[in-house]
């Protein structure tokens, strides 16, 4: 199915609120310059992976500097990852890995939640973590649930949702959540364990397409439990129109299914400045509150 769509199609059919992931776009700039760059490109909202890959508990001065950069740019922080190790890189989360990594995750939970609250961010994403040698899947899953319960409670404390994300097997072969049903299963387990109901599915259309899932079917079955959506084209993880995914149509389906949340642009800009990768999206569709 051809994935290209005209600007008018994106301005009418999708009718979604878009934010820019500053951990994959504008990375040609220092972190503190990225919020202003997103604003200059016409966006009013941004999201982030945990920016300090080596530090679940960074210095207060670093947290304050990023907070000021976001506030000075007058953009809204719509989503933030908990600590997840080296991203981009070999790591795919920490919360299910016994020992030092899960301890780092636990140390980060309230730090990330407090930072999100300070900027009015209401979605926190917890990457599950790779399978590791010497520990059974059952042991890792039990640890994951324990830590996800902590994360869900921290998110609830600040009025936020907890997002559970699936990745894709070709790029993350040791990550256990590589289907929509697996992600939804964890969402249900967390909600059952906490009684809070604030765990939601992060529907990343790129990752799901890499897994060969029937995307219209995923949308129909799981839109009601979806708390956030991310997009990139496939193949290549580039901007919409660089691959073959019918992203405008898929977002239209999400809208019809009742999804009203944010759509994160989590794609690679390619060999060009990030600003040049937004031609597919009309300027009037970039600004949303």
Of 282 and 62, the structure prediction assigns the larger pLDDT to: 62
pTM of the model: 0.95
Angle (deg, nearest 10), helices 60-73 and 100-118: 40
How far is the first Cα of the chain from the last one, in angstroms, to the nearest whole number? Answer: 32
Q: What is the pLDDT of residues 142-157, one digit of tens each?
A: 999 999 999 999 999 9
The mean pLDDT value for 104-133 works out to 97
Average pLDDT, the chain: 94
Fold of the domain built from segment(s) 7-285: TIM Barrel (3.20.20)
H helix and E strand count, the chain: 9, 8
Out of 87-91, 131-135, 187-191, 224-228, least confident range: 87-91
Sign of CA dihedral 226, 232, 234, 237: negative
**Which residues does the annotation mark as catalytic?**
165, 266
Task: Work out the burial of residue 275: count CB atoms within 10 Å of its CB; fewer than 13 is exposed, 13-18 middle, 19 or more buried.
Answer: middle
Q: Residue ranges of the alpha helices (H) in 44-136?
A: 60-73, 100-118
**178 alpha-carbon distance from chain centroid:** 15
Q: Where are the domains of the chain?
A: 7-285
Q: Is the pLDDT of residue 4 over 50?
A: no
**How many other β-carbons are positioned within 10 Å of the β-carbon of residue 91?**
18
């Amino acid at each position: 199915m051809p994935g290209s769509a005209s600007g008018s199609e994106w301005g009418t059919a999708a009718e979604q609120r878009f934010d820019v992931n500053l951990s994959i776009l504008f990375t040609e700039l220092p972190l503190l310059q990225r919020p202003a760059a997103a604003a200059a490109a016409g966006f009013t909202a941004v999201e982030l992976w945990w920016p300090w890959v080596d530090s679940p508990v960074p210095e207060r001065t670093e947290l304050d500097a990023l907070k000021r950069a976001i506030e000075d740019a007058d953009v809204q922080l719509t989503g933030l990852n908990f600590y997840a190790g080296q991203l981009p890189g070999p790591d795919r989360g920490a919360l299910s890995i016994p020992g030092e990594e899960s301890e780092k995750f636990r140390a980060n939970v309230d730090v990330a939640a407090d930072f999100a609250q300070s900027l009015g961010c209401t979605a926190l994403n917890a990457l599950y973590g790779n399978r590791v040698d010497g520990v059974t899947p059952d042991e890792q899953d039990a640890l994951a649930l324990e830590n996800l319960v902590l994360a869900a409670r921290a998110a609830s404390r600040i009025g936020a949702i907890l997002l559970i994300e699936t990745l894709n097997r070709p790029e993350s072969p040791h990550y256990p959540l590589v289907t929509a049903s697996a992600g939804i299963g964890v969402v249900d387990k967390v909600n059952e364990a906490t009684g809070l109901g604030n765990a939601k599915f992060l529907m990343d259309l790129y990752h799901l397409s890499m897994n060969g899932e029937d995307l219209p079917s995923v949308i129909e079955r799981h839109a009601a439990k979806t708390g956030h959506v991310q997009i990139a084209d496939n193949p290549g993880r580039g901007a919409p129109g660089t691959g073959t995914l019918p992203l405008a149509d898929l977002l239209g389906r999400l809208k019809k299914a009742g999804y009203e949340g944010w759509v994160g642009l989590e794609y690679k800009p390619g060999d060009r400045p990030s600003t040049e990768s937004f031609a597919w999206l009309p300027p009037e569709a970039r600004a949303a509150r």
